[in-house]
């Protein structure tokens, strides 16, 4: 029963995010403190340091904050807690290079908006990929 409730909640949240998109500046529907245990486990301790490191002002960071942060706050994933932006999860999904991240951006899975070349040009997408790989270890 608990599994059904969690799946239903995720389906509702996914629907809301798909209707409103993940690139708005609003806060995520569930604050970090209210996430399921699985999602919290996928975020290593010290994630506050990630947000503090975001003060550098790089293009990749700015793009992340504009397009990705709502769903991938602190490198997590509010849609699919198994697919975070941390190195072990990325490698488990065969994502190791900025080009791999661009491939996902251009042709994402269920629940993630598509970011084509008109939305994020290739060079900027590469910087975003480098930022993700360099930040969420």
The full set of domain ranges for the chain reads: 2-135
- Which token pair is 78? 């509010």
Q: How far is CA 17 from the centre of its chain?
A: 13
What is the chain's length? 137
Contact at 8 Å (CB) between 33 and 76? no
DSSP string, 13-33: HHHHHHHH-S-SSSPPSS-GG
Three-class SS of residue 133?
A: helix
DSSP H stretches of helix in 21-119: 37-41, 47-53, 59-63, 87-92, 98-106
For domain 2-135, give the CATH number: 1.10.760.10
What pLDDT is stored for residue 50 in this prediction?
A: 46
pTM over the 0.75 mark? no
CA atoms of 102 and 87, how far apart (whole Å) = 16
What pLDDT is stored for residue 1 in this prediction?
A: 56
What pLDDT is stored for residue 6 in this prediction?
A: 53
Which residue is listed with tokens 């993700």?
A: 132
CA atoms of 78 and 131, how far apart (whole Å) = 20
Contact at 8 Å (CB) between 123 and 131? no
What pLDDT is stored for residue 100 in this prediction?
A: 98
CA atoms of 86 and 7, how far apart (whole Å) = 23
Ranges of the chain with pLDDT below 70: 1-57
């Amino acid at each position: 029963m608990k599994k059904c409730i969690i799946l239903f909640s995720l389906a509702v949240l996914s629907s809301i995010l798909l209707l409103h998109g993940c690139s708005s500046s609003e806060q995520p529907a569930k604050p970090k403190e209210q996430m399921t245990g699985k999602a919290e486990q996928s975020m290593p301790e010290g994630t506050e340091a990630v947000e503090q490191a975001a003060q550098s002002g790089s293009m990749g960071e700015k793009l992340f904050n504009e397009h990705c942060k709502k769903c991938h706050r602190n490198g997590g994933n509010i849609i699919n807690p198994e697919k975070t932006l941390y190195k072990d999860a990325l490698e488990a999904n065969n994502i190791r290079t900025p080009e791999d991240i661009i491939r996902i951006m251009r042709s994402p899975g269920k629940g993630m908006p598509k970011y084509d070349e008109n939305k994020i040009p290739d060079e900027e997408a590469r910087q975003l990929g480098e930022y993700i790989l360099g930040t969420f270890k």
